Structure 1
């Protein structure tokens, strides 16, 4: 197979996906430590491991089988997580990508539930189906990871089953153990419907963000009004 994965910058309204570099290490170190309890079965580097984590992803990228990204919140300009294309597969033609996986995904607690994940998946899926003309996109997670499974299904991927003893466990304390992986996919035939649903979901997230920003601005304005000294009483 001669396909080599390379990921361009992909930008939406809430998130920009930038090819992962060491300059993202400081932000990712902060993001990784926000609330470790939300990661459960997902392996996320500790703050002190951020630089080594990026080195490892770049080493995999050098093989042509991984295109790692930093997820940049457009609200703050900071990296809030990571994701990647990986495992390219060709069946019909060695020069044509037939399938690719989206994985290595994690998000800081503050970015979860904000629409960032939905838009990041939308950008990745759109590139895979409309630029690479892939026939399918895979997503996998630990079969025990109910939070991740729900998030994957929420972006329109279809559950296809559980692959037993599929890969090593990412859970601390389970080093050397194998895990069962739940596998999901979206196909090229399904993409137009999934695209419309994701676009609508992202629009709603953008609207909610705008509403929260407006309320915050109003609250700040009221606080500033309250801090102003009362006008002096005129003397006679």
Structure 2
């Protein structure tokens, strides 16, 4: 698995390698506290988030994308490959967020599908993982809507900045499931 920046075109969004040129648009998109409810930081300083993502990318730990709405050309969120494990041909799709005005528009679903398709079809992944805070039921439903299988809960997984002890719910799609998952997406059979 050789993970490199790439532009991916979907029905609703285009994923562009995250860079400094996205800071202004993402700053506006990130200004809503509800985006950060289950993330381990307050509404962030986006320039710092971008700098951190690019630093992690240089170390081979992450590949971050801006989610750009095709209809408007606006940067409306971000999503990343994280926990990249080339030797095991697996990775996680995470650090995913979309501005609330674009929730339930298909933007996040399209972005996740693009990364899954790229992982399985181009990177030859055998496993794609998603995880979310156990309190984030909306995210769990969205991940299940992607066709991912719930694997279980990592109890007391992380201590968040406010001292809360987080349980993380893990999901995955494996290579053997991908053709069916892809077919459902491409047929448009799942609701956004």
Query: Which residue does 2:92 correspond to in 1?
Result: 101
Query: In the comparison of the two structures, how many residue pairs are matched?
Result: 192
Q: 2:157 aligns with which of 158, 166, 169?
A: 166
For normalisation by structure 2, the TM-score amounts to: 0.91
Alpha-carbon displacement from aligned partner over 1:26-58 (angstroms, at most 9, x marks no partner)? 10111112x4235421357636x1111111111
Aligned pair in 2 of structure 1 residues 151, 59: CA closer, same or farther (>3 Å)? same
CA positional deviation for 1:167: 2.9
| Structure 2 unmatched runs, 5+ | none
Q: Distance in 2 between matches of 1:44 and 1:192?
A: 36
Query: Which residue does 1:46 correspond to in 2?
Result: 43
CA positional deviation for 1:131: 0.7
CA positional deviation for 1:153: 0.7
Which has the higher Rg, Structure 1 or Structure 2? 1
Q: Distance in 2 between matches of 1:58 and 1:202?
A: 36
Find the residue that maps to 2:118 and give its secondary structure: helix
Aligned pair in 2 of structure 1 residues 200, 131: CA closer, same or farther (>3 Å)? same
* Contact 2:144-2:150 at 8 Å conserved across structures: yes
Find the residue that maps to 1:53 and give its secondary structure: helix
Query: Which residue does 2:108 correspond to in 1?
Result: 117
Q: 2:70 aligns with which of 70, 74, 80?
A: 74
1:126-141 map, 5 Å: 126-141=117-132
Aligned pair in 2 of structure 1 residues 150, 203: CA closer, same or farther (>3 Å)? closer
Query: Which residue does 2:16 correspond to in 1?
Result: 18
Q: Distance in 2 between matches of 1:74 and 1:135?
A: 29
More helix by share: 1
* Contact 1:29-1:46 at 8 Å conserved across structures: no
Query: Which residue does 1:147 correspond to in 2?
Result: 138
Find the residue that maps to 1:144 and give its secondary structure: coil
More strand by share: 2
CA positional deviation for 1:196: 1.3
Aligned pair in 2 of structure 1 residues 67, 202: CA closer, same or farther (>3 Å)? farther
Q: Distance in 2 between matches of 1:38 and 1:54?
A: 16
Query: Which residue does 1:84 correspond to in 2?
Result: 80
CA root-mean-square deviation = 2.1
* Contact 1:5-1:65 at 8 Å conserved across structures: no
* Contact 2:150-2:171 at 8 Å conserved across structures: yes
* Contact 2:36-2:42 at 8 Å conserved across structures: no
| Structure 1 unmatched runs, 5+ | 206-236
Find the residue that maps to 1:132 and give its secondary structure: coil
Q: Distance in 1 between matches of 2:134 and 2:95?
A: 15
Q: Distance in 1 between matches of 2:188 and 2:39?
A: 24
Find the residue that maps to 2:188 and give its secondary structure: helix
